[in-house]
């Protein structure tokens, strides 16, 4: 049933909260905006950055873009590597890859940064396609990133695809392409958020993914 597995990055494969929040704080300081409690910035992780700056700080489109520019200034040099893999990632990617599944990365993080992160953690070779957002903002919504990934992989039938992510944007992006989805609870979303978005399955831990796929493929 599922032969192609698409993965989100932040909150699904890596705990990127430290680097992302440090980058947000850097941008807010540069914009002379008050910096809230760090835990209140966690909802930033997952959605497109420009959307989050606009939503949480009520910035104009121009100021939101300037905040993104400052964010990337810090992130590209330091924040990128203030990051760590979740414990189950390498065993799960190894098992899925060994069983013949096609693995694809589909992240709202700019593609150039996603490649660097996968290389840093030495997991790039597990993925046949690495798809991310564009730096110019033209491709930032999760549905658009998934479309980009499917085009790169030359996939037109999504009935055998499964999207794995931790936020509603991953689930909604999958639904936009008639694709089943897995919401994971160890990331930055909640069970309520994932369920309301319509996740096909919800898992407590990534280690349960291979058995779920095997069960559905029997």
Please state the pTM of the whole predicted model: 0.90
Secondary structure tally for the chain: helices H, strands E: 9, 8
Q: What is the spatial distance between Cα 184 and Cα 205, in angstroms, rounded to a whole number? A: 6
Q: What is the spatial distance between Cα 106 and Cα 147, in angstroms, rounded to a whole number? A: 9
Residue 74: the pLDDT is: 96
Residue 77 maps to which CATH number? 1.10.150.240
- Tell whether 104 and 187 lie within a shared domain: yes
pLDDT tens per residue across all 218 residues of the chain: 899 999 999 999 999 999 999 999 999 999 999 999 999 998 888 778 888 999 999 999 999 999 999 999 999 999 999 999 999 999 999 999 999 999 999 999 999 999 999 999 999 999 999 999 998 878 889 999 999 999 999 999 999 999 999 999 999 999 999 999 999 999 999 999 999 999 999 999 999 999 999 998 66
Domain that holds residue 22: 17-81
**Final residue in a domain of this structure, among 65, 81, 97:** 81
- Tell whether 101 and 138 lie within a shared domain: yes
- Strand, helix or coil at 185? coil
Among the residues of the chain, which ranges form H helices? 17-30, 49-57, 61-77, 89-98, 111-120, 142-153, 168-176, 191-197, 209-217
- Tell whether 41 and 65 lie within a shared domain: yes
Residue 213 maps to which CATH number? 3.40.50.1000
Domain count, the chain: 2
8 is catalytic: yes
Residue 96: the pLDDT is: 98
Residue 59: the pLDDT is: 93
Residue 47: the pLDDT is: 79
Q: At what angle do helices 17-30 and 61-77 cross, to 10 degrees?
A: 130
- Tell whether 68 and 104 lie within a shared domain: no
3-state percent breakdown (helix, strand, coil) of the chain, nearest 5: 55, 15, 30
Among the residues of 31-141, which ranges form H helices? 49-57, 61-77, 89-98, 111-120
Q: Are strands 4-7 and 102-110 parallel, antiparallel or unpaired?
A: parallel
Residue 218: the pLDDT is: 66
- Tell whether 178 and 160 lie within a shared domain: yes
- The catalytically annotated residue of 8, 15, 144, 166 is 8
- Tell whether 116 and 150 lie within a shared domain: yes
- Buried-state track 138-147, b at ≥16 Cβ within 10 A, e below 16: ebbbbebbbb
């Amino acid at each position: 049933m599922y032969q192609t597995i698409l993965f989100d990055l932040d909150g699904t494969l890596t705990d990127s909260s430290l680097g992302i929040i440090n980058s947000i704080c850097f941008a807010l300081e540069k914009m002379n905006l008050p910096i809230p409690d760090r835990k209140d910035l966690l909802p930033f992780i997952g959605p497109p950055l420009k959307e989050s700056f606009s939503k949480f700080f009520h910035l104009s489109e121009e100021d939101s873009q300037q905040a993104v520019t400052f964010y990337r200034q810090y992130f590209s040099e330091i924040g990128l590597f203030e990051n760590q893999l979740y414990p189950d990632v390498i065993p799960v990617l190894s098992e899925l890859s060994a069983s013949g599944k096609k693995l694809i990365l589909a992240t709202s993080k700019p593609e150039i940064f996603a490649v660097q992160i996968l290389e840093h953690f030495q997991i790039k070779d597990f993925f046949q396609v690495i798809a991310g957002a564009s730096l110019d903002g033209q491709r930032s919504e999760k549905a658009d990133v998934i479309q980009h990934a499917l085009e790169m992989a030359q996939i037109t039938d999504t009935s055998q695809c499964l999207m794995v992510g931790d936020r509603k944007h991953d689930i909604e992006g999958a639904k936009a392409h008639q694709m089943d989805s897995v919401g994971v609870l160890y990331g930055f979303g909640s069970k309520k958020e994932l369920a309301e978005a319509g996740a096909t399955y919800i898992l407590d831990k990534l280690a349960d993914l291979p058995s779920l796929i095997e069960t559905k493929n029997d």
